[in-house]
Structure 1
Amino acid sequence: NAVKQIEQMLVRDELYRTEISQKITITDKEIKTALQRSSNELKVYFLFARTKELADSLYSLIRKGKLLESFSFTQESRNDCSGPDSAIARWGDVDERMENVIYTLKQKETSKPFQLDDGWYIAKVMKRTTTIVAGEREQIVQRQKVETRLRQRKEFSRMSDFMSSALRSTTTDINSRLFKSTIIHLWNIAQQQHPVRTDSTMFFIDKTVITLLHESMGDSLHFPFVTFPHTVWSVETALEKIVGTNLATANPTLNKIRIDVEQRLRDLIDQEYLTQIGYTRGLNQSSSVRKDLKVWRDSYLSQIVKNKIGDTITVSQNEIEELRREFSNDTSLIFDNNKAIARTKEIKTIGTIDRIIGSVANSTEITFYEQNFKDVHVSSTPSMIFRILGFGGRMPAVPFVIPQLGWINYWQNKDIKFP
């Protein structure tokens, strides 16, 4: 099941690669234009109007000679018209539609009304500051930043179009009664965990929360919750998927939790359909997915073998006492017999596995790629590297493996020198 979950994420990521990232091209003209814009920082004044008619009426006054910066609006009318507001515009940080307007304006020039998601705007460039990137290295870095931002924008645009088209005909049933009940129980847990809530309070939906929900919701967690044409999620399954996204609600309220959970659930439902599209196209059989999955399958198989070996290990009282003498500074091993038994068994298991690996190594050809080892920079600081997935989500970049090098002591081939 764990391998299947990894495969599903890899399939969805492969769909993104084949349908989105591989189909993006950036022209020299686009890079040149972006480089020119990125060297200019603009101070912009702008007016906002809720409708095109209001924006046109404001613009007609500007055409008659009224300065944009001289406008003012009453408190009662600010929902319909507001400004002038000011902002510093840097290429890449501003809505691309606004960029395409303001970067074509000269200093002190005013734009015609243009539309964004929340309404209509009229902009005026008050000041333009140009930065010259002189050094060759700095120019290379700047070009890389520009290309990265251009690619991000194009990928997001193409992804939105693809998802809109691919998911248009999908239908999913959500049990609204169970959803409402789950949100209420989550809110109760949030109040228990955080009796006093401030802007810095974060309510995480994690495994501890699911355990508490088992106590309060009982068998309801196993009821059908999200119904797809191809599968059904129980409440618990849906929550486990949400846990995997590390969802947290800031300064939680009942309504905030509902909004956050609902949006995350929508994202997960979209990802489920996209994953199925990937399987329909046979992307689970692609070379890149199979190659990446092999690493995870081998890791899980290795852990299963280690666990089975551990199940065969028994320890004697003499071995436990020997451990206590060796780790005499750890008083918990003296007063907690179960911990002493577990620690002794763990050490004995590691030694057994070392001997098994060493014996296998003696009959296996091993090649040490010294240059590759030198090229890898290993930090002593514990860290976790994540792979960001297409269409949202993330997963560990590689399986977590506990170092186990004791087998080298049982390896008879000493011709290969390890560092």
Structure 2
Amino acid sequence: MRRLYFLLLMFMIFNAVIFPQQDKVVAKIGNQTITLDEFRKRYQLTPQYERSGQYTEEAAIMKFMYSIIAEKLWALEAENLGMDTSSLMQNTFKALEKMHVRDGLFRSEIESKVSYNENDLMTGLQRMRTDLKLLFLFSFDEDEINSLYSKLAGGAKFDSLLATRSEVQFQEEPLIIEFGKLDEDIENMLYSLKQGEFSKPVKETEGWLIYFVKERVDKYITADEQQKLLSKVKTTIKTRRTDAEYQKFYRSFFSGKRVETDGLIFWSLVEKVRNILQTKKDSGLVLKNNEAKLRPDDLLAIEKEFGPDTLAMPFIKFPDQPLTLKEFLAYFFFEGFFSDQVTTEIIAAKLNARIKGMIEQELIAREGMKRGIQNLPEVKEDIQRWRDNYLYQLMIQSLMDSVIVTDKEITEFYQKASEDTISSLRVNLLEILTDSLEVVEKALNHITDEKSFREFASNHTKRLWTRGRGGELGLTPVSSLGELGRIARDMNIGDVYGPVKLDEGYSIIRLIEKRDESLALNSLEEESAGLKESLTAQKYDNMLIDKTVSLARKYGVTVDEQVLINSGIKNLQMVVFRYMGFGGRITAVPLTPRFIEWVDPWREKQKELP
């Protein structure tokens, strides 16, 4: 718990330091605007990891701006088409929206109550300068520890008593205690002791302890170190006070609350999850630590097995507005689920723990909604930012699904290829594909050249068939690589790009080979599948560009490029997480894919306007 609050507070401090207030509008898209502050936040916290000799900050800024504009254009169109209220959007986005509401409630109900004064800082700083060297007596039995305390109070020497006991073997060197490393109440008690004094018996989880201060060590602190220590003291105090307010809220809010689930549905779900994970393990489809993980396509399989009637049944029986099985599954897959053991007992225990956590988070989210947290300006901004990103993804997927290539088109393309010389761009990529943003961060810090990229991919990429080849995908038509192919088309050999958010996870790629080769065709029957793939990719790319240009003209786009260029903004080249109040973790901002191919055609169209 303390670790979570520390990271949450670090993000808040970080956010306040690097994002000074800026409200200058740098772009307008329909009725929406992008301020310099919004752009700065999005740009600095989205790794612009594009190692090449042609990389410049100015070019990266403009590419990113027009990619965000494309995202917002498609989101506006999605709203116009009513996709923002569709069941698909509700199922996929609702969990994230509730997470932001809980975070807003956390700031309102807990963070706002955290305070400290100058005396707290001075006390912490003094303790930071002093280490305590401790010895201890230990017993499982309260009567025995009280007897030892009576002997010490009667004048017995601590060292003499310790020498007669088994715990002496663990104390060849005294324990060294620093400020912030123990529970605050115990720390207060220990730092109140003088050298040579002992504590009253203290109840710990393992048993009973009596502490003895063997030595107080004052450390010399330089003027430069003083400021660093003061910052650590502030962080420690904030973390402790936040934890205390959280515990107070938790005990008060959940007191007397009880929510049950449908037992029959629960055990049916356990069996379905177990069967899927067992199949994955039997097929070798496991993570590096031998864990089998549920993926989005597994959700569809589970929903199909249950059927629409069961999916609509109440599963978590809140007194007001019970959650259906379908609603729970949307949350369940949003959070992710994996296990290294797939016995019925283990899956049931993990699923039960997940449901308990979900019930708690749902109750907190409902409390936040009741208080109107979702209407606070900062919460609305966060929700809107992620909502636009989700709508963009849904629209792009819808566009991809709408692409149809007929047999007639394949035949005509084949005939043209037979008569003329038609080339096919093929690329060879090294790839690191992972579900973990921590692995992405390690990769960005680790890889410096092709050798280090291959080494990292061999240990971390989730495409098991490429591990033995250092993540190498082999020469592949760009049309077969989807989003990666679209990006690789404009890369030079040696360039690195990423992370790219794919359905399978996060991808970082390095281009090691690129060939523009003439197609050597076999019979139409043999070439049909490959030609259909190429034509589908071409159609999708053209439709995506043309539609984005059309949307830009429909809603209107203006950009103050000069302000952006002169802003002095620099990318942080790092992955930053946002740890949400009451649990949950996301990237600090949505990861928007680069898409700038629409910009030049749009500018040409703009010239045609009177």
Report TM bin, short chain: 0.7 to 0.9
**Equivalent position amino acid for 2:212 in 1:** K
In the alignment, the residues of structure 2 paired with residue 276 and residue 373 of structure 1 have an alpha-carbon distance, to the nearest angstrom, of 41
Aligned mates of 2:273, 2:540 — CA distance in 1: 38
Give the counterpart letter for 2:476 in structure 1. D
The CA distance in 1 between the partners of 2:422 and 2:178, in whole Å, is 64
Q: Which runs of 5+ in 1 are unaligned?
A: 74-81, 414-419
Tell me which amino acid in the other structure corresponds to 1:277.
E
Does 2:300 correspond to 1:106? no
1:202 aligns with 2:291: yes
Residue 128 of structure 1 and its aligned partner are, at CA, apart by 3.9
TM-score by length of 1: 0.79
Contact 1:306–1:353 (CA under 8 A) maintained in structure 2:
no
What is the CA distance between 1:113 and its match in structure 2? 0.9
State whether residues 206 and 243 of structure 1, in contact with CA within 8 Å, keep that contact through their aligned partners in structure 2.
yes
- Quick one: structure 1 residues 412 and 352, their matched pair in 2 at CA, closer, same or farther if it must change by over 3 Å? closer
Is structure 2 residue 458 aligned with structure 1 residue 365?
A: no
Per the alignment, residue 66 of structure 2 pairs with: none
Deviations 1:74-107 (A, max 9, x none): xxxxxxxx67755432322222232222222233
- Residue type of the partner of 1:402? P
Q: Cα 1:51–1:16, aligned 2, differ >3 Å: closer, same or farther?
A: farther
Distance in 2, matches of 1:200 and 1:301, equals 34
Instruction: Report if the CA contact (8 A) 1:52-1:120 is conserved.
Output: yes
Report the more deviating stretch, 88-97 or 206-215: 206-215
1:327 is aligned, of 406, 410, 425, to: 425
- Do the aligned partners of residues 311 and 113 (structure 1) sit closer, same or farther apart at CA in structure 2, a change above 3 Å counting? closer
Change (3 A) 1:85 1:241: farther
How many angstroms does 1:167 deviate by?
1.8
Question: Matches of 2:578 and 2:399 in 1, distance apart?
Answer: 32
Is 1:277 matched with 2:471?
A: no
- Between 219-228 and 260-269, the greater mean CA deviation after superposition: 219-228
Secondary structure of residue in 2 paired with 1:226:
strand
Deviations 1:161-210 (A, max 9, x none): 1121112132201234544554455555555544799x954344554665
Aligned to 2:236: 149
Q: Is the 8 A contact 1:178 1:225 kept in 2?
A: yes
Question: How do residues 20-99 of structure 1 correspond to structure 2 at under 5 angstroms?
Answer: 20-50=110-140, 52-64=142-154, 65-67=156-158, 68-72=161-165, 85-86=170-171, 87-99=175-187
Distance in 2 (CA, whole Å) between partners of 1:88 and 1:402 is 49
Residue 407 of structure 1 and its aligned partner are, at CA, apart by 3.0
Aligned to 2:594: 403
Task: Give the Cα–Cα distance (whole angstroms) in 2 for the partners of residues 307 and 211 of structure 1.
Answer: 16
Selected match of 1:389 from 557, 580, 589? 580
2:431 equivalent in structure 1: none
- Superimposed CA distance per residue, residues 106-158 of structure 1 (whole angstroms, 9 cap, x where no aligned partner): 3343211123345432112334444333142x322221122112111111111
> How well do the aligned residues superpose, as a CA RMSD in angstroms?
3.8
Higher relative contact order, chain-length normalized (CA < 8 Å, sep 6+)? 2
Contact 1:205-1:246 within 8 A present in 2 as well: yes
Query: How does 1:227-376 map onto structure 2 within 5 Å?
Result: 227-235=317-325, 237-249=327-339, 255-303=345-393, 306=396, 316-317=409-410, 325-327=423-425, 330=476, 336-356=530-550, 359=553, 364-368=557-561, 369-370=563-564, 374-376=568-570
Amino acid at match of 1:92: G
Instruction: Judge conservation of contact 2:95–2:331 (CA < 8 Å) in 1.
Output: no
- Provide closer, same or farther for how the CA distance between residues 46 and 177 of structure 1 changes in structure 2, counting only shifts above 3 A: farther
Alpha-carbon distance change, 286 to 134 in structure 1, aligned in 2, over 3 angstroms: same
CA–CA separation in structure 1 for the residues paired with 2:115 and 2:233: 14
Distance 2:157 2:183 in 1: 27
Q: Which runs of 5+ in 2 are unaligned?
A: 1-89, 427-474, 481-526, 605-610
Check conservation: 1:354, 1:405, Cα contact below 8 A: no
Report the residue type matching 2:165 in the other structure: S
Cα 1:95–1:285, aligned 2, differ >3 Å: closer, same or farther?
A: same
Instruction: Return the TM-score normalized by structure 2.
Output: 0.57
Structure 2 vs 1, CA of residues 209 and 326 (structure 1 numbering), >3 Å: closer, same or farther? closer
Secondary structure of residue in 1 paired with 2:210: strand
Distance in 2 between the 1:257 and 1:168 partners? 28
The one-character-per-residue Cα deviations of 1:224-258 (angstroms, maximum 9, x if unpaired) are 43211223334564354344334544667655544
Farther-moved stretch of structure 1 (210-219 vs 256-265): 210-219
- 2:316 is aligned, of 209, 226, 233, to 226
> Residue 319 of structure 1 contacts residue 344 of structure 1 at CA under 8 Å; is this kept in 2?
no
